Amino acid sequence: MHVKPLFAGLLLLLSSSVLLAQDASPDVFIKNVTEEVLSVVRQDKEIQNGSTRKAIALVENKVLPNFNFQRMTALAMGRDWNKATPQQKERLAEEFKTLLMRTYSNALTSYKNQTVVYKPTKLKGDESDVVVRTEIVQPGNKAIPLDYAVVKQGNDWKIYDVLVSGISLVTNYRETFSREIRSNGIDGLIEMLANKNKQLEVGKK
């Protein structure tokens, strides 16, 4: 008896997700990811009370797959990136991913009822590398610009840089990384990142 409406509903759901996948412009993509994450944070008292561990779990599930960490690491390293072997690149991207995800998760725990305004992104022709602009609105304070640099990969968009108030969380490391490479080489940088991650892992709450 109830099969028909259920089936129709399922069909509707399927077709809408297909539509979503096809029409995903970069701003829609960023909006979907952000709202999905925020809907979890809004209901999770543990994250709001500063549980980094829970925030990391959320980030690993919902956020991580939307990033391109190779490109992120390349951006942080600048010219030095091309000096790394494929194996080194893999390790660098892995360690940098762990570090950035921690920063991102930490930021989520300071969420307090802010809302996000999404600014429309217009693509020129078949542009495949754009910045999507959003703003974190908090009453009584100046809105905080939060921008994402995204690149098209097949049919999907992937984030490769996050800018808070114009500060790139990625290129902010460039000087530190290049200094380390000059002193201790690429392997020195890998070790530096790995040590930092281990140290943060120990202090995890």
Partner 1 sequence: MSDLKETINHLTRRSSALLLVVALSGLSACATSSSLEQNPKDPYEGFNRAMFAVNEGLDHVIKPVAQGYDAAAPLPVKTAVGNFFGNILDVWTALNNLLQGKGEQGFSDVGRVLVNSTVGILGVFDVASDMGLAKHSEDFGQTLGKWGVSDGPYFFWPIIGPRTARDTVGWGVDIYTDPVSRLNDIPVRNSLSGTRLVDKRAGLLPTDEIVEEAAFDKYTYIRDAYLQHRRSEIYDGNPPRESWPNQPTSDDSSDNSNTSGAQ
**Residues found near partner 1 in the complex (CB under 8 A):** 68, 70-71, 74-75, 78-79, 81-82, 84-86, 89-90, 93, 99, 102-103, 106-107, 110, 128-129, 131, 133, 139-143, 145, 151, 153, 158, 163, 165-169, 171-176, 179, 182, 192, 196, 200
3-state SS string over 70-130? HHHHHHHHHHHHHHCCHHHHHHHHHHHHHHHHHHHHHHHHCCCCCEEEECCCCCCCCCCEE
Q: How far is the CB of 169 from partner 1 (least distance, A)?
A: 7
Q: In the bound complex, what is the minimum distance in angstroms from residue 155's beta carbon to partner 1?
A: 13
Is the Cβ–Cβ distance between 73 and 169 less than 8 Å?
no
For residues 5 and 125, which CB has a smaller minimum distance to partner 1 in the complex?
125
- Picking from 163, 142, 134, the residue whose alpha carbon sits closest to that of residue 33 is 134
CB of 128 to partner 1, least distance (A): 8
For partner 1, the closer of residues 16 and 115 by Cβ is: 115
Lookup: tokens for 117: 């305004």
Token output for 161 = 């840089």
Nearer to partner 1, 34 or 102 (CB): 102
The residue (of 28 and 143) whose beta carbon lies closer to partner 1 is: 143
Count the alpha carbons within 13 Å of 107 in the hemisphere toward its beta carbon. Answer: 16
H or E element that contains 23: helix 3-23
Task: At 19, give phi and psi (nearest 5°).
Answer: -60, -45
Shorter beta-carbon distance to partner 1: residue 6 or 197: 197
Q: How far is the CB of 141 from partner 1 (least distance, A)?
A: 7
Nearest distance from C-beta of residue 144 to partner 1, angstroms: 11
